[in-house]
Amino acid sequence: PAKIERESFRIIEAVADLNCFSDMERSVVKRMIHASGDLSLSGVVAMSDGAIKAGVDALRSCCPIITDVRMVAVGISDRRTCIHDNNVLCKIDDKAVEDEARRAGMTRSAMAIRSLSNHADGAVIAIGNAPTALFELLDIAKEGVVKPALVVGTPVGFVGAAESKEALMRAGLNYVTVRGTRGGSALAASAINALLMIACNEDCK
């Protein structure tokens, strides 16, 4: 597996256009390309200035990692989150969240993010599935109650996904995102894993 991974990253470095990214940014983008199998992804990945450093610094300060869905949470490396005690929080399967979402007329993903708002200040937040969760997070941030250290926003799909990511880029938060309809849980988890590798001083390729 290690040999295959090395060859994969050799191909990524040879083919993908990574020239506009710094070394740390490039490490994250390469992991995202590796997870997606899409060498053109580098053309649509967008990051705010200083986003990667902000995320790495927060992880080294033992911040929690909040996710919108379990698929993002289970894709994050347990071995690396243990090093700086980064608790991974996801409440999408919480029965109380489901009930509250039904009462409020919200999606479960959006309510799950709102229910974790008391953990969101200074957190690294990964939203890989639901545009409604990203819109909800931006609403919470707009209220001025919390400011995440970094938002990895990669919701996928044809309804609301591109719009939610454009809103993220205008929100004044540190962000990593993918323009347009592409995205998904694997991309969000891969970006977080790259940040964790940098935070743990590992070779991130």
Asked whether residue 10 is assigned to any structural domain, the reply reads no
Residue of 30, 31, 34, 119 marked catalytic: 34
Asked whether residue 22 is assigned to any structural domain, the reply reads no
Could you tell me which of 132, 125, 111, 136 has the C-alpha nearest to residue 177? 125
Q: What pLDDT was estimated at residue 81?
A: 96
Q: What pLDDT was estimated at residue 25?
A: 97
Asked whether residue 31 is assigned to any structural domain, the reply reads no
Q: What pLDDT was estimated at residue 203?
A: 67
User: Taking the chain, what is the end-to-end CA distance rounded to the nearest angstrom?
Assistant: 15
Asked whether residue 3 is assigned to any structural domain, the reply reads no
Asked whether residue 152 is assigned to any structural domain, the reply reads yes
Catalytic (active site) residue 34: yes
Average pLDDT, the chain: 96
| CB-CB contact of 161 with 155 (8 Å) | yes
Asked whether residue 18 is assigned to any structural domain, the reply reads no
Q: What is the pLDDT of residues 2-49, one digit of tens each?
A: 899 899 999 999 999 999 999 999 999 999 999 999 999 999 999 999
pLDDT of 160 > 90? The answer is yes
Q: What pLDDT was estimated at residue 205?
A: 58
| CB-CB contact of 63 with 123 (8 Å) | yes
Report CA 82 to chain centroid distance, whole Å.
Answer: 18
CATH of the domain at 167: 3.40.50.10230
Could you tell me which of 73, 69, 55, 47 has the C-alpha nearest to residue 197? 55
Q: Structurally, how many domains does the chain consist of?
A: 1
* CA dist., res. 98 & res. 50, Å (int): 36
Asked whether residue 193 is assigned to any structural domain, the reply reads yes
Q: What is the pLDDT of residues 78-105, one digit of tens each?
A: 999 999 999 999 999 999 999 999 999 9
* CA dist., res. 195 & res. 153, Å (int): 14
Domain of 93, in residue numbers: 43-199
Report CA 121 to chain centroid distance, whole Å.
Answer: 15
Asked whether residue 27 is assigned to any structural domain, the reply reads no
